[in-house]
Amino acid sequence: MDGFSPTIETPAALQPPEPAGALATRGPEPTRDWLARLRPFRPFLAVVVLPTLLAAAYLFLVAANQYESEARFLVRTNQPSGAAVSGLGKALGLGGGDQAQAEAHGIGDYLSSHDAVAALRRDIDLPAVFRRPEADPFSRLWSADPDPETLLKFYRRQVKVTFNAESGVSTLTVRAFRPADARAIAEALLRLGEARVNSFNQRAIVNSLSVAQAQLREAEIGVARAQSNLTDLRQARRDIDPQRSSSAQISLAAELQQQLALKRAALASMSASVGPESPQRVALAAEVRALQAQVAGAQAQLAGPAGAMATTLGAFESSRLRQDFAAKRYDAAAGALTDAQERALLQQLFVVRVVEPNTPVRALYPQRLKILATIFAGLLLSYAIGWLILAGVHEHKL
């Protein structure tokens, strides 16, 4: 029929084979398509995904576990503080005080110093502790015999001391590759802190008592010198107590003057009734003259030339006054020393262990998920910023 031409389908088995080149060209087409689809994401994969995968491989396959031992302590004194204490310090009834807080900061600085590292190495082999076989190459101490600066830098990465100003409590954290190592280092550091506080106390005692002790020694020397001068004066004057001797001499002179007055009165009365040649009058006149000589002699001993009792008594009273002054100075110096000792006791520092070092059971470091999330977020942010910059540059060119 006109206009109709039937279509005859040829079976697949009877169709002619395709050329070999056509087969070779068709094979890689799916792979090229997949790579073509990933081509726009290559920067993201290179900047974000690949570094994150590498970090995950290191954290979960290579990074060694680190165990943390924690201890808490505070530094206190016996001296009452007027400032209010809050937090754990108030709960324990322990006053912080400015001095205690300053010393707590000092202890924290000491535990992070090269002095603490040197003292710690006398008991613990720190390089060996920080180079345990289970430690990975990136977190371990590389050198078996490091120089002090390198060891101190690594030590400060593993040991932290933080101070809470509100409660007055210092927190010591130590990280190591073995639980026993972390606890041993924390315990040794607490002992070093206590030893340093004891040295602070000894130094404070020496500083506060040295002046008082020097003044007491000077007062003792002054008392001994005054006593020696008084003894020399007694030996030179041959008088144990010139004051009593003077009193006795004054009494004797007064008695002689009284007797002289009576004899003179009797002589005057007798002169009115008897003649000058009377034996009784002559004898009485002789007694009057003798008493006059005795009175003159007694008065000369009291207030005569050099060597009289007045001079001796003046020198004795001066020496006694110096002795009394030296004794009062000694008493004052002894009281000052006692006060200095009491103040030194009040200013004594003590390390109170609030929390003893623990032996960790579970490794807290490295914080793998946190680190990985931080790395991914940082890379993603960097990629976004770079993409925005490139997009802005491209749009500016158009």
Locate the DSSP E strands across the chain: 67-77, 159-163, 169-176, 349-355
Best CA proximity match to 173, nearest among 163, 164, 186: 186
Distances (CA, A) of 168 to 91, 195, 316: 12, 20, 63
Please, what are the averages of pLDDT over each run of 10 residues along the chain (398 residues)? 42 46 50 68 88 93 94 82 46 52 86 94 93 92 92 95 89 95 95 89 79 84 80 64 61 72 73 70 75 68 56 68 83 84 76 92 92 94 91 77
pLDDT, position 225: 83
List the structure tokens of 352: 């109170």
Q: What's the start-to-end Cα distance of the chain, in Å?
A: 64
pLDDT, position 64: 93
CATH for 65-211+346-368, options being 3.40.50.720, 3.30.70.600, 1.20.1440.120, 2.30.110.10: 3.30.70.600
Task: Verify cis geometry, omega within 30 degrees of 0, for the bond prior to 366.
Answer: yes
The residue extents of the domains of the chain are: 65-211+346-368, 239-342
Q: What is the DSSP string of 61-128?
A: IIPPPBEEEEEEEEEEESS--SS---THHHHHT---HHHHHHHHHHHHHHHTSHHHHHHHHTTS-HHH
**Are residues 89 and 74 in contact, defined by beta-carbon separation less than 8 angstroms?**
yes
pLDDT, position 54: 94
Give this prediction's pTM: 0.63
Vertex 247: Cα angle to 244 and 251 (nearest 5) = 140
**Are residues 124 and 221 in contact, defined by beta-carbon separation less than 8 angstroms?**
no
Q: Which amino acid is at 280?
A: Q
